[in-house]
Amino acid sequence: MATLRPPTEAPNQPPPLAGYNLFLENHPLAEALERERAGWAQEHAAAFGELLAGDAAEWGRLANENPPRLRTHDRFGNRIDEVEFHPAWHSLMGASIGHGLHSLSWSEHRPGSHVARAALFLLMAQVEAGHTCPVSMTHAAVPALRAQPELAAEWEPLLTSTEYDFGLRPPAEKRAVLCGMAMTERQGGSDVRANVTRAEALGDAEYALTGHKWFCSAPMCDAFLVLAQAEGGLSCFLLPRVLPDGTRNGFRIQRLKDKLGDRSNASSEIELDSALARLVGEEGRGVPTIIEMVNHTRLDCVLGTAAGMRAAVEQATHHAAHRAAFGRPLAEQPLMQNVLADLCVESEAATATAMRLAGAYDRDERAFARIATAVAKYWVCKRGPGHAAEALECLGGNGYVEESIMPRLYRQQPLQSIWEGSGNVICLDVLRALGRDPETREAFLTECRAATGADTRLDTWLATLEPDLTEPEESGARRLVERMALALQASLLVRFAPPAVADAFCASRLTPTRGLAYGTLPRGVDAETIADRHRPRLAG
């Protein structure tokens, strides 16, 4: 009698999603790069997409399974405040820094530099998002430092270097530096004007800072932009971790945060003990000075969420194309097609929005960038967690295990909505822009009106939205910003996306009968074509 044996192979399982060019298979991103005047960067992006098809995914896994550790003292009892990382973290950082994800906007002096950098950032954030925090802050520190030209002249060459030089040494001994940011405190949170960190003037624009910061991301950076109370009011300072003579500055890491996601990145609580720092901008103008940094990191929140959406869509469409149930592939079943297409539409809308914003920074469209960044930061980031949850469900139980990377994507997405201003803060910022600067309203509507006449549903949406932007009320701010975001996304997709994608977006987002969950696209939408556009094809 034959002996029954358990199967040695797992049938009806998708092949590993690996070995494909992340850029070339991302059609919405490639099209946006060309559209936003950065076609010259196609070759760079394709090469980076090919690089990320190699070991980068494994680096991401290892960096998250081996999170950073804080060493406050050496074995002799000396205070050192060092954060140790797994080698995979350094591999990720080296790849990002080497390809200019922190500097391309400032070092590439031709049209489209912000757009090119945004595309590369979005690609890398698909693979591993945690390490992009110090990359993002280093990139965003440059425009803030330019408020103090002598500081910019000293630090910008180091901030934009494409060498990765990790380790605490005086800036004069380093080939490159990273910059972080420390604003929020325990008692104030987003209300940074409630900060109590004190800045004592020492002369020649140098100050001694004493106080605490409740959230300081990437505390292993070489320098930080910090808010503190000076005699003239809340001010912005550049605080190095190591002084020119090699001594450690008064920067103490109290502990690392144990976070829901973003596990590979070190976030900390710190204390400042007479830490020497230099004034950036004018005394009392700390918020307007550091907001130059915040605006760019808010853009990166949108890019990071779009990246997470793209990664989730790739996982879901790939799984459904290779997994059969009830007699046929999941991707051929109408209800699954509806869910997949809805996820793809959301992802494409986020990508188009993020890249359009990058183009606005590149072309110095200040009024539009001022308000659209906040609108997109609110809405795109709000959609991230639900999008990840629905994509995870497409994989069923396979999506609920760590090896699928879906849990990591799911845990990461809420961060983008919190970082650099959570929902209410962002919506109030939109109201502030509408009230104080009428140019922002007109710039936003001009962009949306560029699609006038192309879709009646969008025309109707805009007709009801425009009068509500004149005197908005705080209690309805979230609803208003949501409507603004949908108008912007619809305008972009109607003009630039394939008709199937644009029609699905308008039919499902701009009509009174729209569904509340993903997978509720109305009858007549070409779901199969949409999902097929977004599914990555493996090499060979």
Residue 1 reports pLDDT greater than 60: no
Residue 9 included in any domain: no
Residue 540 included in any domain: no
Given this model, what pLDDT does residue 540 score? Answer: 64
Residue 324 included in any domain: yes
CA atoms within 13 A on the CB side of 28: 35
Residue 4 reports pLDDT greater than 80: no
Residues 345 and 246 both lie in one domain = no
The predicted-structure confidence for 221-255, as pLDDT tens digits, reads as follows 999 999 999 999 999 999 999 999 999 999 999 99
Q: What is the average pLDDT across 127-133?
A: 98
Residues 338 and 434 both lie in one domain = yes
Identity of the amino acid at 376: A
Residues 114 and 232 both lie in one domain = no
Residues 380 and 451 both lie in one domain = yes
Q: What is the average pLDDT across 66-72?
A: 97
Given this model, what pLDDT does residue 10 score? Answer: 76
* Contacts with 491 (C-beta within 8 Å, 6 or more apart), sequence order: 447, 448, 449, 450, 451, 458
**CATH number for 232:** 2.40.110.20
Residues 147 and 178 both lie in one domain = no
Identity of the amino acid at 132: T
**CATH number for 358:** 1.20.140.10
The predicted-structure confidence for 399-432, as pLDDT tens digits, reads as follows 999 999 999 999 999 999 999 999 999 999 999 9
Residues 280 and 351 both lie in one domain = no
The predicted-structure confidence for 443-494, as pLDDT tens digits, reads as follows 999 999 999 999 999 999 999 999 999 989 999 999 999 999 999 999 999 9
Residue 2 reports pLDDT greater than 60: no
| Contact indicator for 118, 299 with CB cutoff of 8 Å | yes
Q: What is the average pLDDT across 74-102?
A: 97
Residues 336 and 380 both lie in one domain = yes
Residue 530 reports pLDDT greater than 60: yes
Out of 246, 262, 284, pick the residue that ends a domain.
Answer: 284
Given this model, what pLDDT does residue 289 score? Answer: 94
The predicted-structure confidence for 18-36, as pLDDT tens digits, reads as follows 999 999 999 999 999 999 9
- Cα distance between residue 123 and residue 47, in whole Å: 11
Residue 7 included in any domain: no
> What is the gyration radius of the CA atoms in the chain, in angstroms?
24
The predicted-structure confidence for 196-228, as pLDDT tens digits, reads as follows 999 999 998 999 999 999 999 899 999 999 999
Residue 193 included in any domain: yes
What is the DSSP track for 80-137? EEEEE--HHHHHHHHHHHHTTTTTHHHH--STTHHHHHHHHHHHHHHH-STTHHHHHH
Residues 311 and 411 both lie in one domain = yes
Residues 219 and 323 both lie in one domain = no
Out of 125, 159, 193, pick the residue that ends a domain.
Answer: 159
Residues 410 and 445 both lie in one domain = yes
User: Maximum Cα–Cα distance for the chain, whole Å?
Assistant: 94
Question: Could you tell me whether strands 324-325 and 251-256 are parallel, antiparallel, or unpaired per DSSP bridges?
Answer: unpaired
Residue 539 reports pLDDT greater than 80: no
Residues 525 and 458 both lie in one domain = yes
Question: Could you tell me whether strands 223-230 and 324-325 are parallel, antiparallel, or unpaired per DSSP bridges?
Answer: unpaired
Given this model, what pLDDT does residue 77 score? Answer: 95
Residues 41 and 120 both lie in one domain = yes
The predicted-structure confidence for 167-186, as pLDDT tens digits, reads as follows 999 999 999 999 999 999 99
Structural domain range at position 455: 289-534
Out of 159, 187, 202, pick the residue that ends a domain.
Answer: 159
Residue 348 included in any domain: yes
Given this model, what pLDDT does residue 3 score? Answer: 62
Residue 524 included in any domain: yes
Q: What is the overall mean pLDDT for the chain?
A: 96
Sign of CA dihedral 119, 120, 123, 128: negative
pTM of the model: 0.97
Q: Characterise 519 by phi-psi region: left (phi > 0), alpha (psi -120 to 50), beta (else).
A: left
Residue 128 included in any domain: yes
What is the number of domains present in the chain? 3
Per 3-state DSSP, what percentage of the chain is helix, strand, and coil (rounded to 5)? 55, 15, 30
Token pair in block for residue 300? 């990166």
